Amino acid sequence: MSSPASASASASTPAPAAPAAALDTPGDAHARTTHLLELPDELLLSLLSYAADDDYAMLVLPLVCRALRRLCVHAALAACRLASRVRQVVDALPARRAKPQPLAWVIGHAWGALVEAKAFFAEGRSLQQRVDAFEAVPAALATLRTLLLWAAALEPSTPPCSSAEETFLAHEKRRQEALNARSHSLLRKTTSGDDRRLLREEAERQAKRQLDATCRRMWKQMGQQQRSHWQKTVAKAQDQWRRECEAAELTANAARSLLQQLDQLHV
């Protein structure tokens, strides 16, 4: 016969936990996590195609992992990626931006997109399949033609000034005008009436002549080391301009070639 103490101890001892297997539901033993890349290619392509409207997703898609590269050459997915890249470049065109990017930046991205497009529409056994896939992407063809027409019309930009003195004078005048902008604004406010218009115009002419004389005096008093700096600035600007002209010419030629290629394909 057990004592009251032993009965109390047995009552406070928790019951042993049920085996883990007894808590499993019938399907849990066979359940496991399926990795995205373990899906069949057809299903994975369908999932990735839903991301075709997301430019960021299309942009980083090849960088996800190497296993996805085999899918990136598939006609449907390659068409989505190309359409996304072209769409982003078209959105960056100067005419579509309130604060446009530098023209050289836009030309570089346009040239890269056109090179990819030319390779996409290159002759091959799957050419018609690729053409059909690209036409299936909403507005892809119209956006590509917009980029092609813009790039085909590229012309060399206006060359920069080749004189170190004139470059310095233009720079210094802009700097001085920015410094004196507040006083000029005050002058316009105090002489806004028609009866004081002549006074304002004469004051502005005097200020312009004084600024021009000041800048030319600064150039004459400038040492050889400072002049050498401005000569290097001019040479750098000239070299950058030549590079931009070469890039514009390459991009224009690529656009005209691709336009002819699309016309031959009746796209």
pLDDT digits (tens, 9 = 90+) for 35-88: 666 777 777 777 777 776 788 877 776 666 666 766 666 788 888 889 999 999
Rounded (10°) CA dihedral 77, 79, 80, 85: 130
Q: Between 246 and 40, whose confidence is greater?
A: 246
Predicted pLDDT of residue 42: 78
Q: What 3-state DSSP class applies to 267?
A: coil
Q: What 3-state DSSP class applies to 5?
A: helix
Among 104, 55, 48, 103, CA closest to 76: 48
Predicted pLDDT of residue 184: 63
Contacts of 101 (CB under 8 A, 6+ apart): 92, 94
Q: Between 60 and 255, whose confidence is greater?
A: 255
Share of the chain above pLDDT 70, in %: 73
Q: Where are the alpha helices (DSSP H) in 180-223?
A: 181-190, 197-220
Read off the pLDDT of residues 150-188 as tens digits, 9 standing for 90 and up: 999 998 888 888 889 889 888 888 887 777 666 666 666
Cα distance between residue 255 and residue 253, in whole Å: 5
Q: Is the pLDDT of residue 242 over 70?
A: yes
CA distances in angstroms from 24 to 14, 18, 28, 181, 206, listed in the order given: 22, 11, 6, 78, 93
- When pLDDT is averaged across residues 133-143 and rounded to a whole number, the result is 91
Q: What 3-state DSSP class applies to 18?
A: coil
Predicted pLDDT of residue 231: 92
φ, ψ for residue 31, nearest 5 deg:
-80, 140
Q: Is the pLDDT of residue 248 over 80?
A: yes
Predicted pLDDT of residue 67: 64
Q: How many C-beta neighbours within 10 Å does residue 164 have?
A: 19
Q: Write the Ramachandran bin of 157: left for phi over 0, alpha for psi from -120 to 50, otherwise beta.
A: beta
